[in-house]
Amino acid sequence: MAGLYIHIPFCTHACPYCDFSFELLRDGRVGRLLAALEAEAERRGREPPWPDTVVDTVFLGGGTPTCLTDRQLDRVFRMIHDSFRVDPDAEITVEANPETVRTSKLRRLRALGVNRLSIGVQSFSDEILRRLGRRHTADQAVRAIVLAREAGFENVNLDLMFGVPGQAALDWADTLERAVSLDPEHVSVYGLTVEPGTEFDRMEKEGLLGLPDEARHVACYYQALDRLSTAGYRHYEVSNLSKPGFACRHNVSSWNGGDYLGLGPSAHSHVAGRRLANTRGLADYLSAMDARGEAIDMDETLTVDERIHEYILLRLRSVEGMDTGVFRDRFGDDAMGKRDPAIHTLAEEGLLAERGSRICLTRKGLALADSVCAYLM
Amino acid sequence: MSTEHIRNFSIIAHIDHGKSTLADRLLEMTGTISPLKMRAQMLDNLDLERERGITIKAHAIRMSYECPDGQAYSLNLIDTPGHVDFSYEVSRSLAACEGALLIVDAVQGIEAQTISNLYLALENDLTIIPVINKIDLPNARVDVVTGQIVDLLGIEPDDVILTSARDGIGVEQVLRAILDRIPSPEPDDSPLRALVFDSIFDQYRGAVPYVRVMSGEIRPGMDIMMCSNGKRFEVAETGILRFDKAPVDALTAGEVGYLIGNIRNVADASVGDTITDASRPCDAPLPGYREAKSMVFSGLYPAMSEDYEPLKEALEKYQLNDAALVYEPETSIALGFGFRCGFLGLLHMEVVQERLEREYGLTILATMPSVEYRITTTAGEVLMVDNPADMPDASLIDSVEEPFIQAQIVVPHDYIGNIMKLTRDRRGVYKAMEYLDPTRVALQYELPLSEIVFDFYDRLKSISRGYASFDYDFLEYRASPLVRLNLLLNGDLVDALSIIIHKDKAYEWGRELCQRLRKIIPRQMFEVAVQAAIGGRVIARESIRPLRKNVTAKCYGGDITRKRKLLERQKEGKRRMKQVGNVELPQEAFLAVLDIRGEGAAVGG
């Protein structure tokens, strides 16, 4: 079993905080991308282990996959099925932005087998959406969810964002209430991170951004965890909560060290301890595909230490934590033993909890996940 | 050559008064080296010496000069280190001479160092030739400076030579005065006595002492003996010092040169020692020898712990050329493995650190300089402690004594008030004041050495707009109310930040140190309490708020590599820090202590 990720880099406009690989949607570009994706899928699909692997999760991310036309989406799915063996019960997710969602497109996606829709709502406050540079309104977000339900989506995720400049405690509380009232199966709550090179980064450096302070940021995070838990959502990863049985299988599998193949610009793959990535920009991706039929620009086989580091960071980000017994089996007693004092310190400081053979981040530790993981590396 | 035509002389001058330039002119004029071939200021041949404009090691060079009347002379110029840290070395270089040029800048006038070195020269019965240099400068004060010199030396104004070494003015007169006024060495064929005034280390030939032969002669094949330790060596080569070593058949009384004798250890060729003939030893060694004494101590640690071995090798190699550096391994809880080093003084310490970093490519963390305290315990035991971490608990101490120095400060009288305030802040005891001329005074103070090892010289310069000059000599040990001040992070002792300090200054120091560390230590996952304590009593406290948030929201799109590398970089950043208990302490913390500049917040630790 394995995952398949396809990166559709197009957006109708640039969001000032986003540092994912994206391109503005223009005529002609989509066609060239799809042709390249088809070539890449065909080539990879013939290489081991893919001919003998059943794909049980598919994820169309971006960018904004839903800004493709119906016919373009058809092509993507034809390509998937032509090159890979997709499990009939596979989880198939597509990311969507509210302003790109129409009933006809949602129906088309359902018809193509898509059973999970991840909607980039971010906020139910028009003021906050404006600050985030989003093109949709709160009403459009609500309508997108209603339409998704009408089209038959029974597994819907909402992306919500906190720590946004100008976001008052009440704004965030209101956004959480409205999210809960819409009853999605899954919610991702992201603290705004100012990434280097983004418009927000420039504004921050010029002192124009006005981010909420750390205490406020963390309070919003806990507020979300509390409100959503009360509403029956289970917190399963730093930023992710779902109703029982609705954790995102695609992501969970990749965090558990499962194999996945990524197609398209900037897409990453993982096959049996080997990590690969395609070149980031669309133009570079297209020319690499033209020239050599592939676009890999990173290919690393992890050293033992790197595997340990990866394991720690992935396991600790999951709320169930890391099983020290499994760690010991995989990496040996020494690797575990030399981390015992650090684990002890972190536990004493209330950042890690020891539950039987498992260690996991406490509530306080979740907000410091990066520091804690680095401390244990 | 008969001694009649030999002149051995030295140059005494304050920094920047033109010593090197005048020496260069003499070298040119005697044809010792052509101006074209000469790197500016030939005598300062260490990069560091050039940069700082000071001489750290003694140098010697022989010039041959043929007088217009046809008589040939040998002139040995023995240059002296230009800093108070090396006053013993200076005194030995002067002891190798019969005369000295006293160079005084026509604008600056006499400085503290000039006076100290002049006294050393007079103690050694040297003939002084006073020279006022830089007379071409528009603000030259030839009359005033002449007056200073006349008063100081009790000579006639006519004896003073006026020069501009840069333009070559008056240099010939200087040369003439060297021949006419400085006595030639006395011939003496009693058993060999040769004074070691410097030594260098040659990786193929071992330690090479530079000597002045006072009596007898020294030639290859002879067995010689070091008077200080009785060690014997066979002389393989004798020679004179040009720009290179030039072998000669023998060195006889009155001559200056070098000898090579398979001396493996520089400590066996130490400055001030007397070399004699092993088969016909002298009755008594030359007076004035003493072992190099460390005055200032500091721990040197590699910034990266894996550089311990390279640091050890660097110290070993360095010591071959500088027997005055002493070191032994020490361990610090905060800094790991390193070395406790003893230095002649502050400049010596700086020079050693800088050269170790520069010439051996190391990054070094130095702990705060300390002096050596004499501690008498309640059990009546006497301990010498140069590392605050070694100071016993207060309950076990009967008394603590610290080294005091006799300081000489020369300054324009406008700044007397500032100097008095500074010295009072540094626990100085005023002794005397003397006017050198109507506008300049020489002040005498007794000061604890610990109060000047730290930021004294810079302060002195800044409160006098650079005009004050300063020199000192060790005086004696005196009892003082000193305490050990510890720095704690979350209750754990940072031994490398402990100091021994006067009890009246402990509070201010503790407060300042805590405040600084609060700014330097990055926020961590837990609160960090920064405390300064004397024994069990906390006298200052700051706290560093814990980090509340450090989490990357998204970890998908499959890019786990980027995430891992981000955390590995965080981890790497921490590896450069020093771990104290559960607190990560950046290296800057150890450096920040070195520039605590609160008025009056001087330390002894």
pLDDT string in tens for chain A (377-residue length) = 899 999 999 998 888 998 887 888 887 889 999 999 999 999 999 999 999 999 999 999 988 999 999 999 999 999 999 999 999 999 999 999 999 899 999 999 999 999 999 999 999 999 999 999 999 999 999 999 999 999 999 999 999 999 999 998 899 999 999 999 999 999 999 999 998 899 999 999 999 998 999 999 999 999 999 999 999 999 999 999 999 999 999 999 999 989 999 999 999 999 988 999 999 999 999 999 999 999 999 999 999 999 999 999 999 999 999 999 999 999 999 999 999 999 999 999 999 999 999 999 999 999 999 999 999 99
Smallest CA–CA distance, residue A356 to chain B, in Å, is: 24
Q: Provide the CATH number for the domain formed by B374-480 in this structure.
A: 3.30.70.240
Strands B578-580, B296-302: pairing is: unpaired
Edge to edge, the sheet with strand B206-215 lists: B232-234, B223-226, B274-277, B193-202, B206-215, B256-260, B237-241, B245-248
For residue A49, cis peptide bond before it (omega within 30 degrees of 0):
yes
Rounded CA separation A260/B254 (Å):
89
A2-255 is classed CATH 3.20.20.70: yes
- Looking at residue B57, its pLDDT comes to 55
* CATH tag for B193-277 (out of 3.30.70.1400, 2.40.30.10, 1.20.1250.20, 3.40.50.2000): 2.40.30.10
B549, B555, B557 member nearest A217 (Cβ): B549
Pairing mode, strands B206-215 and B251-252: unpaired
* CA dist B339 → B325, B329, B332 (Å): 12, 4, 10
Looking at residue B604, its pLDDT comes to: 39
Asked if A316 contacts A361 with a C-beta cutoff of 8 angstroms, the reply is yes
Its ipTM equals 0.88
Bond before A63 cis per omega within 30 degrees: yes
CATH class of the domain defined by B483-595: alpha beta
User: Which among A20, A193, A310 has the least Cβ separation from residue B557?
Assistant: A20
B-facing residues of A in 73-132 (CB < 8 A) are none
Residues of A in contact with B575 (CB under 8 A): none
d(CA B28, CA B536): 67
Would you give the DSSP letter of residue A248?
-
B339 Cα to chain A: minimum distance (Å) = 28
Taking the CA of residue A187 and the nearest CA in chain B, the distance in Å comes to 13
- Rounded to whole angstroms, the Cα distance separating B265 from B596 reads 40
Question: How high is the mean pLDDT in each 10-residue block of chain B (605 residues)?
Answer: 88 82 86 60 53 59 87 90 75 93 92 82 92 94 93 90 92 94 94 92 88 96 94 95 86 95 86 94 88 87 90 90 87 91 86 88 90 95 93 93 93 93 95 89 94 85 85 91 94 91 93 92 91 94 92 73 88 79 84 62 40
Give the pLDDT of residue B15: 74
SS3 label, residue B176 = helix
Q: Do B555 and A238 touch (CB under 8 A)?
A: yes
Q: Determine the pLDDT at residue B401.
A: 97
Tens digits of residue pLDDT in B362-415: 989 889 899 999 999 999 999 999 999 899 998 999 999 999 999 989 898 999
Given the candidates 1.10.10.10, 1.10.10.920, 3.40.50.720, 3.20.20.390, the CATH classification of the domain at A304-376 is 1.10.10.920
Question: Architecture of B3-181 per CATH?
Answer: 3-Layer(aba) Sandwich (3.40)
Cβ A218–B552 below 8 Å, yes or no? no
Using an 8 Å CB-CB cutoff, list residues of chain B that contact chain A.
Answer: 524-526, 547-561, 563-564, 566-568, 570-571, 574, 582
B296-367 — its CATH code?
3.30.70.870
For chain A, residues classed under CATH 3.20.20.70 are 2-255
Q: How far apart are CA A15 and CA A20, in angstroms?
A: 10
Q: What is the pLDDT of residue B48?
A: 59
Which residue does chain B place closest to A344, by CA atoms? B582
Q: What are the chain B neighbours of A268 within 8 Å (beta carbons)? A: 557-561
Residue ranges matching CATH 1.10.10.920 in chain A? 304-376
Q: Given B553, B554, B564, which is nearest A306 (Cβ)?
A: B564
Q: In this complex, which of A193, A254, A366 lies closest to B558 when CB atoms are compared?
A: A254
Tokens of B275: 């070399």
Q: Do A11 and A63 contact (CB within 8 A), yes or no?
A: yes
The answer to whether A239 contacts B553, with C-beta atoms less than 8 Å apart, is yes
Considering only residues 357 to 376 of chain A, which have any Cβ-Cβ distance to chain B shorter than 8 Å? 366-375
Q: Please answer yes or no on whether A275 and B548 come within 8 Å at the CB atom.
A: no
Question: For A375, which residue in chain B has the nearest alpha carbon?
Answer: B571
